[in-house]
Chains A and B, each alone.
Chain A
Amino acid sequence: SQTIHQWPATLVQPVGSPLSLECTVEGTSNPNLYWYRQAAGRGLQLLFYSVGIGQISSEVPQNLSASRPQDRQFILSSKKLLLSDSGFYLCAWSVPRARGSYEQYFGPGTRLTVT
């Protein structure tokens, strides 16, 4: 069976500090990978997605970057955090299934508070 892991679960960082959030998927190969952010009182926003190693697409301009160094590893980074980077960060994966469906599965999330 497939599982998705995210760490850390909770993070409190000062403004201007760097960030690295990690997501790994087990039990599947060549998944599409996604990073979403859920800010307080707002909906889920897609930040980045990747269809393969080293292939990153950004949905919105921002202070963050993403990398995919291995097939099942997705990393979200920042060189200098802003207060507006606070939120709940969710990683997700999908693979094509029967009749071309792409059901997405989400990790447990990382709660980031920038102080």
Chain B
Amino acid sequence: KQEVTQIPAALSVPEGENLVLNCSFTDSAIYNLQWFRQDPGKGLTSLLLIQSSQREQTSGRLNASLDKSSGRSTLYIAASQPGDSATYLCAGVSSGSARQLTFGSGTQLTVLP
């Protein structure tokens, strides 16, 4: 059964700093890996999806990488801003027909002005 772990659980950085969030998974047979953002009391916003055949995806200041052999993914945020403050969740997509997600517990990011 897939297990997903995220470290650190919380991170506080000054504005403008580049940062990396880590995600590890136990089953290298994942289909995709998806990164989400969740603001307090809100639903999840999809940030990036990396397919198993890809090594990275980029969107604006965000870059996500995937290394299936080591069971790791990272989310890199460049030039962080206070508006980036949120909880970031990674999720492994199963290879089953329904493509279920298994979530990590998240990293709560605070960017200080």
Question: Chain A residues in contact with chain B, CB under 8 A?
Answer: 32, 34, 42-46, 49-51, 57, 59, 88, 90, 92, 94, 99-109, 111
Give 13 pairs: A residue, B residue, CB < 8 Å, sorted on A. Answer: A32-B99, A43-B103, A44-B44, A57-B98, A90-B43, A101-B51, A102-B93, A104-B91, A104-B93, A104-B101, A106-B45, A108-B42, A111-B41
- Taking a contact as CB atoms under 8 Å apart, the answer to whether A90 and B44 are in contact is yes
Q: Give the most central of B41, B44, B53, B97: most A CB within 10 Å.
A: B44
Q: Closest B-chain residue to A44, C-beta based?
A: B103
Kindly state whether residue B24 has any CB partner on chain A within 8 Å.
no
Chain A contacts for B51, CB-based, 8 A:
99-101
- Taking a contact as CB atoms under 8 Å apart, the answer to whether B104 and A104 are in contact is no
Question: Chain B residues in contact with chain A, CB under 8 A?
Answer: 31-32, 34, 36, 41-46, 49, 51, 53, 89, 91, 93, 97-106
Chain B contacts for A101, CB-based, 8 A:
32, 49, 51
- Taking a contact as CB atoms under 8 Å apart, the answer to whether B93 and A109 are in contact is no
Nearest CB of chain A from residue B103's CB, rounded to whole Å: 4
Q: Closest B-chain residue to A32, C-beta based?
A: B98
